[in-house]
């Protein structure tokens, strides 16, 4: 068809035709979101009488699916173990006090607005008692008003930028003081004082880098660069050139998702090596290393609570069970472990409520989750009863040629979480009364908070 034909065709579309076509477009869009982003109450196993409904909200399609799918896998493994009396749940009987968990799975398609709608649906229509889900801070911020307004509970398994303390969220990933606080002094001592900060362009990397930069400057280091790239970008020529020009001692990366393998590959391709300018990263885990090829990551570092190489009997069992269920070529990582342990925090809390003859609702589950302890793959962890974050280990791993981490730094026990970055907000803590009155939890102590470790009881 020639150009002329095309222009007459486009001009020749009447208003009615336009309405017809555009409604077709809208219709197929809705259809796509229904098929791609549907809900399903999986009933592949026999659930018995009176199952407990729990929402599982991770995107299995769209740009974040790469990460969230593995969180969903870890959650499914934990739920299966709880329902079948296996793994860490062995000895507790099938389900929770005889009641199995029925998972209500939704897929928000990596769309922040859909997270909001889907959480409303889970709470209002499916009447779940609580929800396990979300990955990015953008999605958490999107659902937070829903959980607060409807007073329901979200278990959120991701390391995040902190500076938040809701009585409707249990934050089982790392708070800033469990990931950033130890890694920055480590970088300065081992690599040098000049840091170059990169990240994806959204809430978490920017906030996380803001804290990290403040921590570096506090201990006498220097920020020689601070660059962001749009979420999902795989072109890093410019940022890498700026790194070369700034000549930092180390690069701190908060790039997420698809961007990670592309960045490490182009980094090495451009002639930057890990022995001269190592990358310290937070979101780069075993999964991303596997995807980029370990030769690109060897010698770089990640700061996380958990690595697949952590030596505990619980971890050996977790890795084995995970591979048995999802395939031998899969790896486990820190976010997956957090998704796994939070499911047990939830199950233990429910068990405590049901044992006391209570009824499962937001209030009872919230109070019962506070202070739960669990012998996790990373070691003994606990939900802080005051700020609803978790006591977690802080570790730094150096990537080896086999794609696994050599742990070069670890705290002796799980570190008490502090919700607010103490460098940016000195002395600010979050303390909730028992029972939770949902009043403002922020207290300014004005004191320099000491690092506290979880004591074994």
Partner 1 sequence: MYAHLFSFFYLAQEAVAEETTQAFSLVALSNQLVNGIGIVGILLLTGLGLAITFGVMRIINLAHGEFIMLGAYVTFWMQSTFGMDLLLTIPFSFLITGAIGALVELTIIRRLYGRPLETLLATWGLSIVLQGVIKLIFTAQLKYVKSPPYISGNLTLLKDAQGSPAIAISYYRLFIIFVAIALLVLTGYLLNKTDLGRQVRAVTQNRDMARCLGVNTSLIDMLTFAYGCGLAGVAGTVISSLKSVSPPMGQDYLVDAWMTVVTGGVDKLIGVLAGAFLIGESSSGIAYLLNDPTARVIVLAAVIILIRYKPEGLFTIQKRG
Contacting positions for partner 1 (CB under 8 A): 1-6, 9-10, 13, 21, 24-25, 28, 32, 36, 60-63, 65-66, 69-70, 201, 227-230, 232-235, 237-239, 241-242, 244-245, 258-262, 265-266, 269-271, 287-288, 290-293
Compute the 3-state secondary structure of the chain and give helix, strand, coil in percent, each to the nearest 5: 40, 20, 40
Least CB distance to partner 1 at residue 49 (A): 35
Q: Smaller CB distance to partner 1: residue 40 or 238?
A: 238
Least CB distance to partner 1 at residue 375 (A): 29
The secondary structure of residue 175, as a DSSP letter, is -
376: alpha, beta or left? (left if phi > 0; alpha if psi -120 to 50) = beta
The length of the chain is 457
What kind and span of H or E run contains 106?
Answer: strand 101-106
Phi, psi of 263 (to 5 degrees): -65, -50
Q: Smaller CB distance to partner 1: residue 172 or 259?
A: 259
Phi, psi of 12 (to 5 degrees): -80, 0
Least CB distance to partner 1 at residue 209 (A): 13
Torsion of Cα atoms, 309 then 314 then 317 then 321, to 10°: -100
Q: Smaller CB distance to partner 1: residue 270 or 442?
A: 270
> How many Å apart are CA 24 and CA 286, to the nearest integer?
43
Phi, psi of 140 (to 5 degrees): -65, -45
Least CB distance to partner 1 at residue 103 (A): 19
Least CB distance to partner 1 at residue 329 (A): 9
- DSSP-based three-state secondary structure for 276: coil
> How many Å apart are CA 105 and CA 73, to the nearest integer?
12
Least CB distance to partner 1 at residue 206 (A): 11
Q: Smaller CB distance to partner 1: residue 48 or 230?
A: 230
Least CB distance to partner 1 at residue 359 (A): 38
Is the peptide bond prior to 195 cis by the omega test (within 30 degrees of 0)?
no
Q: Smaller CB distance to partner 1: residue 41 or 234?
A: 234
Tell me if 106 sits within 8 A of 55, measured CB to CB: yes
Q: Smaller CB distance to partner 1: residue 38 or 435?
A: 38
Phi, psi of 355 (to 5 degrees): -65, -35
Number of continuous H segments (helices) and E segments (strands) in the chain: 13, 18
Q: Smaller CB distance to partner 1: residue 25 or 434?
A: 25
Q: Smaller CB distance to partner 1: residue 326 or 425?
A: 326
Q: Smaller CB distance to partner 1: residue 120 or 242?
A: 242
**CA proximity to 194, closest of 221, 217, 228:** 221
- DSSP-based three-state secondary structure for 338: helix
Least CB distance to partner 1 at residue 327 (A): 9
Least CB distance to partner 1 at residue 122 (A): 22
């Amino acid at each position: 068809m020639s150009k002329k034909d095309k222009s007459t065709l486009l001009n020749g579309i009447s208003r009615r035709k336009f309405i017809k076509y555009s409604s077709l477009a809208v219709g197929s869009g809705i259809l796509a979101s229904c098929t791609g982003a549907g809900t399903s109450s999986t009933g592949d196993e026999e659930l018995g009488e009176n199952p407990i409904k729990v929402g599982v909200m991770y995107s299995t399609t769209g740009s974040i699916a790469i990460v969230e799918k593995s969180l969903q896998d870890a959650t499914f493994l934990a739920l299966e173990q709880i329902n079948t009396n296996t793994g860490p749940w062995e000895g507790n009987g099938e389900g929770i006090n005889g009641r199995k968990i029925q998972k209500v799975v939704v897929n928000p398609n990596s769309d922040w607005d859909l997270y909001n709608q889907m959480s409303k649906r889970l709470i209002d229509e499916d009447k779940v008692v609580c929800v396990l889900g979300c990955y990015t801070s953008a999605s958490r911020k999107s659902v937070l008003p829903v959980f607060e307004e409807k007073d329901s509970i979200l278990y959120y398994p991701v390391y995040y930028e902190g500076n938040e303390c809701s009585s409707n969220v249990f934050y089982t990933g790392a708070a800033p003081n469990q990931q950033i606080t130890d890694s920055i002094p480590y970088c300065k001592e081992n690599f040098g004082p000049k840091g170059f900060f990169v990240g994806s362009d959204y809430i978490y990397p920017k906030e996380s880098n803001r804290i990290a930069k403040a921590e570096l400057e506090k201990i006498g280091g220097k920020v020689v660069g601070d660059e962001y790239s749009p979420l999902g970008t795989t072109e890093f020529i410019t940022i890498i050139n700026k790194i070369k020009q700034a000549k930092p001692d180390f690069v701190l990366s908060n790039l997420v998702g698809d961007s990670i393998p592309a960045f490490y590959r182009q980094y090495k391709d451009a002639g930057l090596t890990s022995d001269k300018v190592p990358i310290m990263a937070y979101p780069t885990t075993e999964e991303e290393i596997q995807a980029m090829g370990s030769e690109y990551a060897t010698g770089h570092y990640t700061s996380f609570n958990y690595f697949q190489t952590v030596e505990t009997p619980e971890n050996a069992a977790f890795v084995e069970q995970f591979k048995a269920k999802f395939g031998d070529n899969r790896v486990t990582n820190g976010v997956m472990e957090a998704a796994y342990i939070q499911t047990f925090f939830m199950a233990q809390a429910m068990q405590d409520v049901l044992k006391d003859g209570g009824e499962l609702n937001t209030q009872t589950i919230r109070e019962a989750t506070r202070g739960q302890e669990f012998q996790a793959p990373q070691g003994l962890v606990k939900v802080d009863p005051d700020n609803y974050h978790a006591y977690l280990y802080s570790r730094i791993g150096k990537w080896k040629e086999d794609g696994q981490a050599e742990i070069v730094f670890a705290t002796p026990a799980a570190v008490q979480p502090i919700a607010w970055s103490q460098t940016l907000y000195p002395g600010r803590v979050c303390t909730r009364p028992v029972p939770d009155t949902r009043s403002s939890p922020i207290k300014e102590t004005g004191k320099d908070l000491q690092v506290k470790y979880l004591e074994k009881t």
